[in-house]
A = this chain, B = another copy of it.
Amino acid sequence: MHKQSSNLRKKRKGTKNDLLIDEYVYTGDWKEETHVKLIQYNESTFSVHDLKVQDDPKNYFHKNEVNWVHISGLSDTALIVKMGESLGLHAPDIQDIFTSQHIAKIEPYDDKTILVINTFYFNEAKELQQEHIYMVLGEDYVFSFQESVLPLFDNVVQAIGKNVAKVRSRSADYLFFLLANNVLGNYIDVLATLEDNIEIMEEVVVGGDIPNDFGKRIQANRRDNLQLKKSILPLKDDFKNLLHNENRLIRDENKVYLNDLEDRLLFIIQSIEICRESVDALLDLYFSNNDLRMNEIMKRLTVVATIFIPLTFVVGVWGMNFKFMPELEWKYGYIMAWALMAAIVVFVWWYIKKNRWN
């Protein structure tokens, strides 16, 4: 994995006005070489090829098969532009392939449908990583682009190889749903981790042994939640439109899978919301615990001070050097002093208890 910066906030290079430059610019932080893989299958065939990067994958397409071109690593701008143009993509759509921080969307054209989405996972340092995914669905093909060369879709390739759930008898739109479903699965994994963290932090707050980086961890949880939310919320309406409008590329027998995908999307959006409300509630709990602990500390100080300050005054009285202080001469003066002090302690203690200061 070659990523320049683990920071989610990318330097949005070239965003000033991308219509004013004559070339396409990749705006993400990944420095991966471009790899192109062609997966082709139907009920009876299945093949996986690494393509040379200078080739147009369309030249290798088979009729009566689903042709899936998977591109990982976006550094070879020229090649990807050539592919985009060969697919008949408009210039702004080609630029979107390279725009790491793009709003998520589904763009349904007559002869193709585009999906722009982010996928998420935690890296080894347990930091949330975001990766921009771009997919094109055509009559008999799917193109999928990812920023890194991580094996994000290898499980899909394997499942096709094993013809799981008769995937090889199904059309390209089903593959498109399969890939989208895989991305959504990553959201669910990330959310499970965020929820686990909230539960751990809740136990920590209730237990009272709060680590110093607690505030930072709450902050990180909220930030990750925001990242997920912004990346998936814009898709809600787009999915609904895709499901309810006519779309030549989506076969009737596969609509039930699109419907299922939409349920998953709604479940994720709901879980993000729940997760957010949980962390807000946790923060309230944390603040209230801070207040309680402060009260405890001050009660202790008050009790200590209320008991000893009068005593110190009393011993100060008999430490005065007046000539005529008859009690100093008394035989049992000292014992009387101790008795008085004991009486003060008892009285103050009783008073504190009665009034529930502690």
Q: How far is the CB of A85 from chain B (nearest CB, A)?
A: 14
Copies of this subunit: 5
In the bound complex, CA of A192 to CA of B12 (Å): 8
Kindly state whether residue A312 has any CB partner on chain B within 8 Å: yes
Q: How far is the CB of A19 from chain B (nearest CB, A)?
A: 5
Q: How far is the CB of A121 from chain B (nearest CB, A)?
A: 12
In the bound complex, CA of A144 to CA of B165 (Å): 26
Q: Could you tell me if B337 and A322 are in contact, using CB atoms closer than 8 angstroms?
A: yes
Q: Could you tell me if A256 and B92 are in contact, using CB atoms closer than 8 angstroms?
A: yes
Q: Which 5 residue pairs spanning A and B have beta carbons closest together? A: A315-B316, A92-B260, A318-B320, A20-B159, A322-B334
Q: Could you tell me if B333 and A17 are in contact, using CB atoms closer than 8 angstroms?
A: no
In the bound complex, CA of A125 to CA of B15 (Å): 24
A interface majority secondary structure: helix
Q: Could you tell me if B295 and A294 are in contact, using CB atoms closer than 8 angstroms?
A: yes
Kindly state whether residue A319 has any CB partner on chain B within 8 Å: yes
A interface residues (Cβ-Cβ under 8 A, vs B): 9, 11-12, 15-22, 90-93, 95-96, 101-103, 105, 107, 155-156, 158-159, 162, 164-165, 167, 177-178, 181-182, 185, 188-189, 192, 195-196, 199, 202, 205-206, 213, 215-216, 218-219, 222-223, 226, 230, 234, 256-257, 259-260, 263-264, 266-267, 270, 273-274, 277-278, 281-295, 297-302, 304-306, 308-313, 315-325, 327-334, 337, 357
**A299 cross-chain contacts in B, Cβ below 8 A:** 297
Q: Could you tell me if A288 and B287 are in contact, using CB atoms closer than 8 angstroms?
A: yes
Q: Could you tell me if B219 and A281 are in contact, using CB atoms closer than 8 angstroms?
A: yes
| Residue of B whose beta carbon sits closest to that of A234 | B266
A-B contact pairs, 9 of them (CB 8 A): A9-B192, A15-B188, A17-B178, A20-B158, A90-B256, A105-B263, A297-B302, A313-B315, A324-B333
**A206 cross-chain contacts in B, Cβ below 8 A:** 213, 215-216
Q: How far is the CB of A240 from chain B (nearest CB, A)?
A: 11
Q: Could you tell me if A102 and B334 are in contact, using CB atoms closer than 8 angstroms?
A: no
| Partner of A321 from B12, B164, B274, B328 at Cβ < 8 Å | B328
| Residue of B whose beta carbon sits closest to that of A202 | B219
| Partner of A270 from B91, B230, B357 at Cβ < 8 Å | B230
In the bound complex, CA of A260 to CA of B297 (Å): 56
Q: Could you tell me if B287 and A291 are in contact, using CB atoms closer than 8 angstroms?
A: yes
**A293 cross-chain contacts in B, Cβ below 8 A:** 295
In the bound complex, CA of A276 to CA of B298 (Å): 33
Q: Could you tell me if B297 and A267 are in contact, using CB atoms closer than 8 angstroms?
A: no
| Residue of B whose beta carbon sits closest to that of A288 | B215
Q: Could you tell me if B319 and A328 are in contact, using CB atoms closer than 8 angstroms?
A: no
What would 14 more interface pairs be, CB under 8 Å, given A90-B256, A309-B309? A9-B199, A15-B188, A20-B156, A20-B158, A92-B259, A92-B260, A202-B219, A216-B285, A222-B277, A294-B294, A312-B312, A318-B322, A319-B319, A319-B321
